[in-house]
Structure 1
Amino acid sequence: MLDWEVDRDALTAPAVARNRDAILAVLRRVLPADGSVLEIASGSGEHAIHIAAALPGLTWLPSDPEPEARRSIAAHTRLAGLTNIRPPLALDAHASAWPTGRVDAVVCINMIHIAPWSATEGLMAGAARVLTGTGLLFLYGPFREDGQHSAESNAAFDVSLRARDPEWGVRDLEAVAALAARHGFVLAERVAMPANNTSLIFRRAES
Structure 2
Amino acid sequence: MLPFSAAAENNKRPILEKLRDAFKDATRVLEIASGTGQHAVFFAEHLTHLDWRPSDIAEHLPAIDQRIVQADADLDNLLSPIELDISDLPWPVSAFDYEDAYDGIFTANSLHIVAWPLVEDFFEGVGETLAEGGVLCIYGPFKYGGKFTTPSNEAFDKTLKARDPESGIRDFEAVNDLAQKFGLTLVADHAMPANNQLLVWKRG
TM-score by length of 2: 0.92
Amino acid at match of 1:19: N
Residue 57 (structure 2) pairs with residue 90 (structure 1): no
For structure 1, list consecutive stretches of 5 or more residues without a partner in the other structure.
Answer: 1-7
Amino acid at match of 1:43: G
**Matched position secondary structure for 2:56:** coil
Match of 2:122 in 1: 123
Residue 5 (structure 2) pairs with residue 18 (structure 1): no
Residue 43 (structure 2) pairs with residue 51 (structure 1): yes
In structure 2, C-alpha distance between the alignment counterparts of 1:125 and 1:204, rounded to whole Å: 13
In structure 2, C-alpha distance between the alignment counterparts of 1:94 and 1:105, rounded to whole Å: 20
Match of 2:163 in 1: 164
TM-superposed CA distance for 1:32, in Å, is: 2.9
TM-superposed CA distance for 1:33, in Å, is: 4.6
Match of 1:31 in 2: 23
Does structure 1 conserve the Cα–Cα contact (< 8 Å) formed by 2:44 and 2:51? yes
TM-superposed CA distance for 1:202, in Å, is: 0.7
Partner of residue 63 from structure 2, selected from 69, 72, 80: 72
Structure with more relative contact order (C-alpha pairs < 8 Å, separation 6 or more): 2
**Matched position secondary structure for 2:11:** helix
In structure 2, C-alpha distance between the alignment counterparts of 1:12 and 1:66, rounded to whole Å: 18
| Structure 1 stretches of at least 4 aligned residues deviating more than 4 Å after TM superposition | none
Q: Which moved more, 1:105-114 or 1:85-94?
A: 85-94
Q: Which moved more, 1:142-151 or 1:92-101?
A: 92-101
In structure 2, C-alpha distance between the alignment counterparts of 1:123 and 1:19, rounded to whole Å: 22
In structure 2, C-alpha distance between the alignment counterparts of 1:58 and 1:77, rounded to whole Å: 17
Partner of residue 42 from structure 1, selected from 31, 34, 37: 34
Does structure 1 conserve the Cα–Cα contact (< 8 Å) formed by 2:26 and 2:134? no
In structure 2, C-alpha distance between the alignment counterparts of 1:33 and 1:45, rounded to whole Å: 23
In structure 2, C-alpha distance between the alignment counterparts of 1:104 and 1:188, rounded to whole Å: 15
TM-superposed CA distance for 1:34, in Å, is: 4.9
In structure 2, C-alpha distance between the alignment counterparts of 1:42 and 1:119, rounded to whole Å: 16
Aligned length: 196
Does structure 2 conserve the Cα–Cα contact (< 8 Å) formed by 1:94 and 1:121? no
TM-score by length of 1: 0.91
